[in-house]
Structure 1
Amino acid sequence: MKKIETAKAVGHVLCHDMTQIIKGVSKDARFRKGHIVTEEDIPVLLSMGKDYLYVWEKQEGMLHENDAADRLYRLCKNEYMNESPVKEGKIELFAAIDGVFCIDLEKLNAINSIDELMIATLSNYYPVKAGNKLAGTRVIPLVVDEKKLQEAERIAGNTPIFSLKPYRRKKCGIVTTGNEVFYGRIKDTFSPVVVKKLEEFGAEILGVTYCGDEPETITAAINEFLAQGAEMVICTGGMSVDPDDRTPAAIRATGANIISYGAPVLPGAMFLLSYQDGRPVLGLPGCVMYAKRTIFDLVLPRLMADIPIAKKDLAKLGNGGLCLSCEVCHFPNCGFGKGGH
């Protein structure tokens, strides 16, 4: 840094905060470190007793924090995202639509391993609403070696490290199984829960079909919804290992590709995920009916945003897959399902 006369400081960058004291009113930083001095600032600075200033001395190969932050955020931003103005080397990104926030974690971790650069984000696959904050990028010092930004740009390549996948209005069918419901012995309290969760994502409910415990009737009900153009079919109940719980066998009989029967999530271990010609066919365990949050809440946003789910994706849910059943539920603003993505 160098010392110059305040009157000649227009266009220069301050190297430290400048505090202004107004007796009985305030004592606070009037100008922050990194501020670029303007013509209008000169009288204010002089009134603060600042006849001289310490400013950044531009050096070849070094970037001011704001210029570096701009280059850093451009590695992150993708469609459906808005950015904040740059301030003190920081730029924040916000969702422009409802959807699922996705991160290239390998690239993010590599960039965050570069000294003096940082990108802080929501968790991968976080369901967001328009206006939600997604991430903040920041350069730590006032000036940074340009080579560090060049390394970050090399890591990022030509594809932004973030994406925001919009939800799609899907046609969904629900198959509710079990003789106890089919014969009216008990009231159906399962499908209303599923309907409510689907409607939160704008789904169109084609209907609810009630079946007994016979696998053939469950298979037929699934196929009927698929024939009607259902883009997702959800089966409720009959998912345990009891001999009379036949839903997994019924789903297999449709010819669907079974991704996994079982997931490392509590509640929700007996979850089944399959695809029939690219259309998800799910088997939901009974916990979805009564627990506040389950495996269904973790996978549904991705399915509604057309994000394919593989067996390895379900396996990663084990880290963070234990819901603590808090008395006051703050999902998704909690650790449930947030680890290991």
Structure 2
Amino acid sequence: MKFGPAPLDSAEDAILAHAVRCGGRIFKKGQILGAAEIAVMAQFGVASVTVARLEEGDVAENDAAMRLAEGLRGQGVIAAPADTGRVNLLAAHDGLAIIGAAPVDALNRITEDVTVATLPNLAPVSAGQVIATVKIIPFAVPESSLSAAVDAAIAAHLDVYPYLPLAACLIQTVNDGLKPSVIEKTSRVTADRLTRLGGRVGGETRCAHDSVALAGAIETALVASPDLLLIIGASAIVDRRDVIPQAIEAAGGRIDRLGMPVDPGNLILLGEVRGTPVLGLPGCARSPARNGLDWVLERLAAGIPADAGDVARMGVGGLLIGRQEEKDYL
């Protein structure tokens, strides 16, 4: 591609590199100059303009951006029309954006002419939300560079996994110190949380906060074959020998992990009872504010496992709220 200043009278059919204002009219960057545009500029005394001219083997910015976008576009992703060398990739439905950092990094290293910016991996998205944007930096890209970038884009394909209509059973343990208003709020918040993910609370049970009563409630809940068991205790789970873990094991289940490196949400439990995933909820699950439970629920709703190893890798970025400064130590 040729680029640089040119006399106005030799700029026909070239691409205008920078906007030019002539009276009340603006000729925009990227506009192809025709005889009419040149005539107007001449009337206002413009003598030269900075332009770009494509050469053989060059691919225009919009065509290049669209080819890259089509390479990146995976399951549940649609491409918007190209404009000024940019194509936005949008979620076709609600779900989780699946984005591999290493393949996207590899694509961005091929040439500085091509850039791809994305949301973080596993970001929850809504239908129509931009999950990535492709931007071509110059007005054209050599075919050789573009072909390599398109191959990398195909390898880095971006997906949006849809949420599955999970039916969960909620079990709340109660004691004399737990206010009825807190119990009712927990029911509402949990139902809303699942609804946002395309699921529902298929049933709710309340029982005393002891392992025998809770084991019985788990047995009863399993009769309905829920996709997921959610258990929130009258008090938080602080040890594998606490009420909720003991009840899960008494009902024939196992504990995969207690605790996660996400705050708020540290005191979560992941387990399984007779093939049904079970989550022991942290106290912050009573609030609609985003917390570690959402990270786990979103994965499960999108059909992505969340095992102990997955949870252990959530620490970077897992500080969801800024803690108050320890000013005494500054």
Q: TM-score range by the shorter chain?
A: 0.7 to 0.9
1:225 paired residue among 217, 221, 225: 221
2:306 paired residue among 306, 309, 334: 309
1:131 aligned counterpart, secondary structure: coil
Does residue 179 in structure 1 map to residue 150 in structure 2? no
Residues 242 and 299 (structure 1), Cα distance of their counterparts in 2 relative to 1, 3 Å cut: closer
Q: Is this contact kept in 1: 2:240–2:246, CA < 8 A? A: no
Following superposition, the deviation at residue 279 of structure 1 comes to: 3.9
Does residue 111 in structure 1 map to residue 107 in structure 2? yes
Q: Is this contact kept in 2: 1:239–1:246, CA < 8 A? A: no
Partner of 1:102: 98
Partner of 1:78: 74
Partner of 1:44: 37
What are the ranges of 5 or more consecutive residues in structure 1 without an aligned counterpart? Answer: 328-341
Residues 241 and 155 (structure 1), Cα distance of their counterparts in 2 relative to 1, 3 Å cut: same
2:208 aligned counterpart, secondary structure: coil
**Residues 234-278 of structure 1: per-residue CA shift (max 9 Å, x gap):** 000254226983102222344445442110011111111224566
Percent of pairs with identical residues: 29
Once the two structures are superposed, the pairs formed by residues 152-301 of structure 1 within 5 Å of their partners are: 152-157=149-154, 161-180=157-176, 188=183, 189-237=185-233, 238-241=235-238, 245-256=242-253, 258-276=255-273, 279-290=276-287, 292-301=289-298
Following superposition, the deviation at residue 185 of structure 1 comes to: 8.2
Q: Is this contact kept in 2: 1:81–1:96, CA < 8 A? A: yes
Q: Is this contact kept in 1: 2:161–2:302, CA < 8 A? A: yes
Q: Is this contact kept in 1: 2:52–2:139, CA < 8 A? A: no
* Distance of 1:134 and 1:140 partners within structure 2: 19
* Distance of 1:174 and 1:217 partners within structure 2: 15
* Distance of 2:21 and 2:265 partners within structure 1: 58
Following superposition, the deviation at residue 121 of structure 1 comes to: 1.2
Q: Is this contact kept in 1: 2:248–2:273, CA < 8 A? A: no
Higher mean alpha-carbon deviation, 86-95 vs 274-283, is at 274-283
* Distance of 2:236 and 2:56 partners within structure 1: 66
Higher mean alpha-carbon deviation, 196-205 vs 107-116, is at 196-205
Following superposition, the deviation at residue 107 of structure 1 comes to: 0.9
In the superposition, the TM-score normalised over structure 2's length comes to: 0.82
In the superposition, the TM-score normalised over structure 1's length comes to: 0.79
Structure (1 or 2) with the greater helix fraction: 2
Following superposition, the deviation at residue 163 of structure 1 comes to: 0.6
Residues 242 and 162 (structure 1), Cα distance of their counterparts in 2 relative to 1, 3 Å cut: closer
1:180 aligned counterpart, secondary structure: coil
**Residues 293-326 of structure 1: per-residue CA shift (max 9 Å, x gap):** 3211222222222222233321222112113269
Following superposition, the deviation at residue 290 of structure 1 comes to: 4.3
Residues 326 and 127 (structure 1), Cα distance of their counterparts in 2 relative to 1, 3 Å cut: farther
Q: Is this contact kept in 1: 2:252–2:274, CA < 8 A? A: no
Partner of 2:320: 323
What are the ranges of 5 or more consecutive residues in structure 2 without an aligned counterpart? Answer: 325-330
Amino acid at match of 1:48: M
2:72 aligned counterpart, secondary structure: coil
Q: What is the number of equivalent residue pairs in this alignment?
A: 314
Residues 152 and 258 (structure 1), Cα distance of their counterparts in 2 relative to 1, 3 Å cut: farther
Residues 141 and 81 (structure 1), Cα distance of their counterparts in 2 relative to 1, 3 Å cut: same
* Distance of 1:245 and 1:153 partners within structure 2: 54
Following superposition, the deviation at residue 90 of structure 1 comes to: 1.0
Q: Is this contact kept in 2: 1:97–1:166, CA < 8 A? A: yes
Partner of 1:334: none
* Distance of 1:193 and 1:325 partners within structure 2: 23
2:311 aligned counterpart, secondary structure: helix
**Residues 145-198 of structure 1: per-residue CA shift (max 9 Å, x gap):** 3333333333344x662111112222110011243379x888524333222212
